[in-house]
Amino acid sequence: MPTPTQILVAGGGIGGLAAAYVLGRQGLPVTVLEQSTAFGEIGAGIQLGPNIFRMFEHLGLTEAVRQVAFFPPGLGMNDVRTGERVVRVPLGDIAQAAYGFPYGVIYRADLHTVFLEACRALPNVTLRTGAKVESFAQDAQGVRATLTSGEVLEGAALVGADGLWSRIREAIVGDGKPRVSGHIAYRAVLPRAEVPAHLWSDDVLLWGGEKTHLVHYPLRRGELFNLVAVFHSNKYDEGWNTFGDTAELSERFAQAVPQVRELLGKIETWKMWVLCDREPVANWSQGRVTLLGDAAHPMLQYLAQGAGQAIEDAVVLGAAVRHTGGDWTQAVQLYQQARYLRTGRVQLTARFYGDIYHASGVARELRNRMFQGGQEAAGFAGLKWMYEGIDPDRLFR
């Protein structure tokens, strides 16, 4: 039998579609296998650092993203109990000048649609729904992916972009369930008309408190208002689309300043999810099979880099495939070698930033004084390594 040429991508989220688009642009036949009955994305807002806009520029998607994004003038943090400003970092021209690319925010569903439409425009990318990969096997000629329906698909390689609870990761890494952080996130999106003027802010604004924080910012050109409230909890429910308990939310923010409590009161229904990550690993590949995005390196949300790192993964994987002339066994090793330290650093730094946001006692006082003492620029510059990103034109030279 002839050696299969199609690339199988398990998962039709942002990471999976980014991988399909990158590989499809290189002329490779790609089949995306999405377990849901339709392509779609749940969740609320995503912050897009300059490193991610660098990827959009490389992929020719900048204008499509700009059509639906919002560009906040600053990043700010206030103390949730006193209301005092802890720090504000101006963005706009400053971010553009520092990194060559802007800082924006976008509705997760809108970003997903950008990649979905880009894939649909490529005749060599096939998009399938109701197709969940149950297991895989491989040999020197290719990979055979077995779906839960019993159907078997053959491919030259398999990219596992099947998220935090990845079946493919379990077969390769075998590290069990994700690490539960003990943090719960409640998310909601309001139309602009439902947000009073005195509560609206064009900034990405975080209200930090002891084991709690609220972050909010505009979405979709300023037509929507994104709110995410996070607090420590023992509750655990696998998934991203569970309804939250408004009574518990109110209790956790009972000591917050009036404007925070007023904002939270504007929401009648919240969706919640448990924040999880995993320990960084150096190997997430096996033969012709590799992982991408949350399947490879799930991270807490505190650096707002989950989707961005998945997009970077896709670009680097495509460059590795091109560099090796389509030798997938070599390409996936080259890809993970180029990615595991950077993504591991983001994973660990995100945990640290969660501690900063939720600080109490002396740690809270020290945080406030350091930032209020004029070192606010250091908060942005301290992440220079992340926001500078990767140069797609210099990979594997």
Q: Nearest Cα to 207, choosing from 248, 246, 249, 259?
A: 259
pLDDT digits (tens, 9 = 90+) for 125-136: 999 999 999 999
Residue 376: pLDDT band with limits 50, 70, 90: very low
Q: How far apart are CA 103 and CA 46, in angstroms?
A: 11
What's the pLDDT at 280? 96
pLDDT digits (tens, 9 = 90+) for 91-109: 888 888 888 999 999 999 9
pLDDT digits (tens, 9 = 90+) for 224-257: 999 999 888 776 555 545 667 778 888 889 999 9
What's the pLDDT at 237? 53
Residue 2: pLDDT band with limits 50, 70, 90: very low
Mean pLDDT, residues 260-281 taken together: 88
pLDDT digits (tens, 9 = 90+) for 149-208: 999 999 999 999 999 999 999 999 999 999 988 888 888 899 999 999 999 999 999 998
379 pLDDT exceeds 70?
Answer: no
Structural domains of the chain in order of their starting residue, each with its CATH number: 7-177+287-392 (3.50.50.60)
Phi, psi of 170 (to 5 degrees): -60, -35
Phi, psi of 209 (to 5 degrees): -150, 180
Q: Average pLDDT, whole number, for the chain?
A: 90
310 pLDDT exceeds 80?
Answer: yes
pLDDT digits (tens, 9 = 90+) for 317-328: 999 999 999 999
Q: How far apart are CA 134 and CA 53, in angstroms?
A: 34
What's the pLDDT at 231? 87
What's the pLDDT at 375? 53
Q: How far apart are CA 322 and CA 320, in angstroms?
A: 5
Residue 384: pLDDT band with limits 50, 70, 90: confident
What share of the chain has pLDDT > 90, as a percent? 67
Burial call 153-191: b when 16+ CB within 10 Å, e when fewer: bbbbbbbbbbbbebbbbeebbeeeebeebebbbbbbbbe
Mean pLDDT, residues 3-9 taken together: 85
289 pLDDT exceeds 80?
Answer: yes
Q: Nearest Cα to 177, choosing from 106, 238, 121?
A: 238
What global pTM score does this model have? Answer: 0.92
What's the pLDDT at 47? 93
Is 217 in the active site? yes
39 pLDDT exceeds 90?
Answer: no
CB of 17 within 8 A of CB of 36?
no
What share of the chain has pLDDT > 70, as a percent? 93
The active-site residue, picked from 21, 99, 107, 217, is 217
What's the pLDDT at 377? 47
Lowest mean pLDDT among 119-133, 137-151, 343-357: 343-357
Mean pLDDT, residues 79-92 taken together: 88
- CA torsion angle 197 198 201 202 (round to 10): 40
Residue 301 exposure: Cα atoms within 13 Å on the Cβ side: 22
DSSP 198: G
Q: How far apart are CA 331 and CA 337, in angstroms?
A: 10
What's the pLDDT at 271? 80
Encoded amino acid at 370, one letter: M
CB of 24 within 8 A of CB of 358?
no
Mean pLDDT, residues 50-62 taken together: 97
User: What is the distance in angstroms between the CA of the first residue and the CA of the last residue of the chain?
Assistant: 35
What's the pLDDT at 295? 97
378 pLDDT exceeds 50?
Answer: no
Distances (CA, A) of 273 to 42, 169, 188, 244, 259: 11, 21, 12, 8, 24
Residue 160 exposure: Cα atoms within 13 Å on the Cβ side: 31
